[in-house]
Structures are given as C-alpha cells and as structure tokens.
C-alpha cells in the first residue's frame, strides 16, 4: 500500500515508523508515481494544488484531511474514495479556546494595550466584563458545545441556534430575532450552501450597538461588506480568525480599525494538534 503524506508535523515519519511494510512518499518531495497512491493525506491548510492532486490519483481509496472543516475539499472527492476529516486532532478544543480568547481579548482591549506596550506607553483604559453578557452561539455542534462549556463559568447568558433545531437550540430562521438580544454573536457553524452568507445584513443590523461579532468558522458565512460597514462607523466590533478572502488583503480596512481583532486562521493550529497529527494511527472522522 502506498501512502502519500505531508512531511510537516512528522506525519510521514510517524506513519513510516508504525507501518514499516508500507510505501511512504512525501508530498513535498515529488517524484512519486501518482498511479500507485492508495492513501493521500492532505497537507494541513493546504493550497489549491494539494486539492487538485486528488484528481491525479486514479488508485486512491482513502483521503484524509487534517482539518475538521472540509467545505473546500468535498467537491473534489471522487465517489469511490472514503473521505475522513480531522475530528479528534484537537481542532475543536483549540478553536473553542481561541473563541473565548478573542472574546476576552476584545472586551479587555488587549490590542490597545499591546500597542501601548510597543510604544512604552503606560495608559489606563476602561475595559468591559464578560459577566452577564448575552452570547448567541450560531452553531451548536462539537465546537459550539465546547465554546459554551468554556464561557459558562464567566456568568454569561447563552442562546443557541443551529441547522437542527431541538430543545434549547433555535432554528436558523430565528437569527434576526435572537441577534436583537445578543451582546456577543459567535459564528461556529460549518460552511455549507445553506450557511453561506447566513450572517447577513439583516442579522447584523439587528445586533445592538456595541455588540461583538466573533467568527471562528469560515469567512463566507458572514456578509463581509455588511459587516465592514458596521465596523467602519463604529456601531459593531469584531474578532475574526477567518475572513472571506484568506489571507486578508493588505488594503482591506479591517486591518486598521480599532474595533477589530484579527488572527490568521489559527484556531486549530495548536501544539496538541500537531502532535496528534503525527501520532494518529488511522484515518479519523469519516465524512462519507
């Protein structure tokens, strides 16, 4: 059996150690025969060329992604291939922790204090508290549930909405009404044709002045132009780990706005995740 694997994070070396009888070829090195590959593990946060490689592997039987979100890959997976995502590689925990970090960092104005530190400037600012805040979780799967468990001890009031309505979880059709009663809106739902543009102008306009929009899911779920308008006039704040174009272009106004905190899609990029990617014995989280 031939495995096409990334060298990064020790994935290829670890599989070679555990399966000495297998043929291991490294994605970054090239020079391999594409007609011999049975198992392909996509490089983490791989670019378009790594996804395009799927179509060049006629004998492929198993495709492994190291990411939990696979919206950018699904359409490229042949019917006969078993596709597995990165569930179990600590992406959910890392993303949930980052969501809480972004919320607290925004409320406590850490970007302003970091700027003052770089300027050797000691300056007092009044900051906000998470205690008593009304938090709307848009998405209540594994990541949404982990975010809830991590912020509940701060004394927040939590409302939930998801694609599957159930006891305690409202349908997405009620988002505008729910947004009107939210201090913080957290986007933690998978990107699908149904959720693209879900956080639209109507939802954003319904949020109270001063509300914080946190996105740790996918940029395309939020109407970027509508959000930018609310950010530019100072009505809303945002903390974004994902954007509608990545990397975010240098000329986008979000970079310079004092009410925006940006991280470069690092929710799942953690040390435990790197270790798990190298040590995982077999494919995880079948998508189909």
Residue pair 204/228 in contact (Cβ under 8 Å)? The answer is no
Distance between CA 142 and CA 204 in Å, rounded? 25
Task: Examine the residue annotation and report whether 218 is marked as an active-site residue of this protein.
Answer: yes
Task: Examine the residue annotation and report whether 14 is marked as an active-site residue of this protein.
Answer: no
Query: Strand, helix or coil at 49?
Result: helix
Residue pair 243/260 in contact (Cβ under 8 Å)? The answer is no
Catalytic residue, chosen from 91, 218, 237, 280, is 218
In Å, the largest CA–CA distance within the chain is 64
Catalytic residue, chosen from 140, 160, 230, 265, is 265
Angle of CA points 97, 152, 166, to nearest 5°: 100
Catalytic residue, chosen from 28, 59, 149, 246, is 246
Query: Strand, helix or coil at 197?
Result: coil
State which H helix or E strand residue 135 sits in: strand 134-138
Nearest to 135 by CA among 148, 125, 122, 146: 148
Task: Examine the residue annotation and report whether 36 is marked as an active-site residue of this protein.
Answer: no
Distance between CA 186 and CA 231 in Å, rounded? 16
Q: Which two tokens stand for residue 264?
A: 């470069």
Distance between CA 261 and CA 273 in Å, rounded? 24
Distance between CA 146 and CA 155 in Å, rounded? 16
Residue pair 82/60 in contact (Cβ under 8 Å)? The answer is no
Instruction: State the catalytic residues.
Output: 218, 246, 265
């Amino acid at each position: 059996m031939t495995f096409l694997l990334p060298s990064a994070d020790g994935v290829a070396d670890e599989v070679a150690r555990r399966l000495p009888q297998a043929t291991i070829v490294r994605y970054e090195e090239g020079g391999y025969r594409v007609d011999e590959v049975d198992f392909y593990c996509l490089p983490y946060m791989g670019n378009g060329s790594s996804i395009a490689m799927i179509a060049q592997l006629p004998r492929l039987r198993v495709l492994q992604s190291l990411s939990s979100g696979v919206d950018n890959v699904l359409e490229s997976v042949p019917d006969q291939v078993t596709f597995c995502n990165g569930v179990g590689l600590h992406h959910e925990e890392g993303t949930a922790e980052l969501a809480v970090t972004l919320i607290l960092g925004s409320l406590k104005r850490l970007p302003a204090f970091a700027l003052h530190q770089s300027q050797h400037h000691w300056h007092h600012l009044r900051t906000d508290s998470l205690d008593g805040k009304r938090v709307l979780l848009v998405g209540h799967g594994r990541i949404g549930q982990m975010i809830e468990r991590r912020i509940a001890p701060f004394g927040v009031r939590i409302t939930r909405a998801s694609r599957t309505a159930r006891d305690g979880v409202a349908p997405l059709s009620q988002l505008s009404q729910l947004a009107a009663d939210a201090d913080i809106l957290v986007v933690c739902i998978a990107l699908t044709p149904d959720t693209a543009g879900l956080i639209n102008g109507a939802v954003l306009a319904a949020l109270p002045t001063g509300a914080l929009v946190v996105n740790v899911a996918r940029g395309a779920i939020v109407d970027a132009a509508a959000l930018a308008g609310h950010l530019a006039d100072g009505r809303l704040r945002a903390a974004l780990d994902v954007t509608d174009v990545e990397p975010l272009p240098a000329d986008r106004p979000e970079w310079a706005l004092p009410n925006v905190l940006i991280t470069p899609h690092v929710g799942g990029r953690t040390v435990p995740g790197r270790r798990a990617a190298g040590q995982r014995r077999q494919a995880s989280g079948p998508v189909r």
